[in-house]
Amino acid sequence: MTNSLSLELAKNLLFLIGSILFIGMTAIVLARSFKIPDVVMFLIFGIFFGSEGLGILNINSGSSFNQIIMIFGSSLIIFDGGASVRLKILKEVWVTILMLSTVGVVLTALLTACAAYYLLNIPPIEAFLLGAVIASTDPATLIPIFKQIKISDRVSSTIISESAFNDAVAAILTFTILNMVLKSGDFEIVHTLLDLFKQSIIGILVGGILGFIAAVFISHEKYNFLSEFTPIVTLMAVIAAYVGADGLHSSGFMAVFVFGIVFGNQDSLGFKLSTNEEIEFNDFIATNSLIMRMFIFIILGSQVDFKLINLYFISGMCVVLFLIFIARPITVLVCALPDSKAKWHRNELIFMSCKRETGVIPGALAAMLIGINAPHANLIAAVTFLAIFTTISVQATSTKWLATKLKLLIE
């Protein structure tokens, strides 16, 4: 009986995987025809084939399959983003990245909380919880977009780096506020800052060490005995970076991103892949990143609860529009304008103000709040998905047009 049940579950899982791959390939073809980022079409197809649509894709957000896809898929995409960031660019804009990833997250959460307090009529602390959940930007969305649309290196590197680093800050802020909501405690700013600093240092160390070790065994002149297994070693290291950092109560995504930066800039360490190995490796990562974002965004779309969204649609959309058009521009100006070293131009600031896609991490945080039955969890989940759908469908599709208008597009 048990074997029979296991076999049926395996068959259902295979059917699900095959269906997502077929749906994803169809979405890619259409996305290229309409010349829009593929993540937008993945999300739309996920909604169409999900439980609120045709019902072909029924994936519980709390299932192991869902969690593995979200964690591993996001990790691989974030590694790809880190590997594409050049250290030369980071040295120029690191102050802005640091400010956006820390002060920027808190400021965005506070501004959004003010809007949520008045528009949704919820207590201030729970409005702050909502702001914290949707304050971070999403590397799983932004990295693929900038892979397809080439813009100024320092602008894309800043936005991608911010999105990879601010996940940890948003998660810490969310858990701190949640603890206040559940226990009616005080906001311990010193404890929170120390915790953030500890998590950041651990994440950076884990990612940096693993990146160096991988580079040595793959590209070192004497010790490159694993060079022919570069893709396998990379996948192992991505998993090790996430699991290792997470096991040390740090940000797994931060560790993966730093690992990507170190591995992608190994020429600065005196290592280098051969031309053929580099081409094969890049093709492997590009293919797997495509498959992972296909799974992530089709699954996200399939889990939409329109009944829940309808309850809070108008007021929730007002909060999202406030986040996009007021909170984000203010945050960018506060965090980037004082950076005298970067010397940001007006067009660059405008572009960064218009890029803050919400995605996987806020979605996961919202799902967690529902799972523990936190106060106003359903409302927070509804607003979070509205933020995900609106920012991806509007901001992602307008990226090329905006970059062209602001003269930031690289042909």
Is 246 part of a structural domain of the chain?
yes
108-117, 220-229, 263-272, 389-398: which is most confident:
108-117
The answer on pLDDT for 362 being more than 80 is yes
Is 410 part of a structural domain of the chain?
no
Single-letter amino acid, residue 382: A
Query: Do residues 214 and 233 touch, judged by C-beta distance below 8 A?
Result: yes
Is 78 part of a structural domain of the chain?
yes
Is 149 part of a structural domain of the chain?
yes
Quick one: average pLDDT of 75-91? 79
Amino acid 371: pLDDT: 66
Adjacent-strand bridge partners of 409 = 151
Is 248 part of a structural domain of the chain?
yes
Amino acid 41: pLDDT: 87
Is 45 part of a structural domain of the chain?
yes
Query: Do residues 342 and 154 touch, judged by C-beta distance below 8 A?
Result: yes
86-95, 142-151, 329-338: which is most confident:
329-338
In which band, very low, low, confident or very high, does the pLDDT at 188 lie, cut at 50, 70 and 90?
Answer: low
Q: Provide the percentage of residues in the chain whose pLDDT is more than 70.
A: 95
Alpha helices (runs of H) in 87-229, residue ranges in sequence order: 87-101, 103-120, 124-133, 139-148, 153-183, 189-219
State the Cα–Cα distance between residues 115 and 202, nearest whole angstrom.
35
- Which one, of 351, 321, 342, 331, lies nearest residue 159 by Cα? 351
Q: Kindly report, residue by residue over 39-50, the tens digit of the pLDDT.
A: 788 888 988 888
Single-letter amino acid, residue 378: N
In which band, very low, low, confident or very high, does the pLDDT at 2 lie, cut at 50, 70 and 90?
Answer: low
- Mean pLDDT across the chain: 83
85-94, 287-296, 312-321: which is most confident:
312-321
Neighbours of 153 (CB within 10 A): 17
109-118, 208-217, 305-314: which is most confident:
109-118
Is 411 part of a structural domain of the chain?
no
Domain region containing 266: 2-405
- Written as six digits, the tokens of 45 are 């197809």
Measured CA distances, 210 to 72, 202, 216 (Å): 17, 12, 10
Measured CA distances, 239 to 70, 129, 136, 232 (Å): 13, 30, 23, 11
- Written as six digits, the tokens of 124 are 């201030």
112-116, 125-129, 157-161, 339-343: which is most confident:
112-116
Lowest mean pLDDT across 11-20, 153-162, 181-190, 244-253: 181-190
In which band, very low, low, confident or very high, does the pLDDT at 186 lie, cut at 50, 70 and 90?
Answer: low
Q: What's the CATH number where 309 sits?
A: 1.20.1530.20
Q: Which residues contact 239 (CB under 8 A, 6 or more apart)?
A: 72, 75
Single-letter amino acid, residue 36: I
Query: Do residues 192 and 175 touch, judged by C-beta distance below 8 A?
Result: no
- Written as six digits, the tokens of 167 are 């996940």
Query: Do residues 66 and 60 touch, judged by C-beta distance below 8 A?
Result: yes
Is 234 part of a structural domain of the chain?
yes
Lowest mean pLDDT across 79-83, 203-207, 209-213, 348-352: 79-83
Could you identify the residue written with the tokens 């009616």?
184
Domain count, the chain: 1
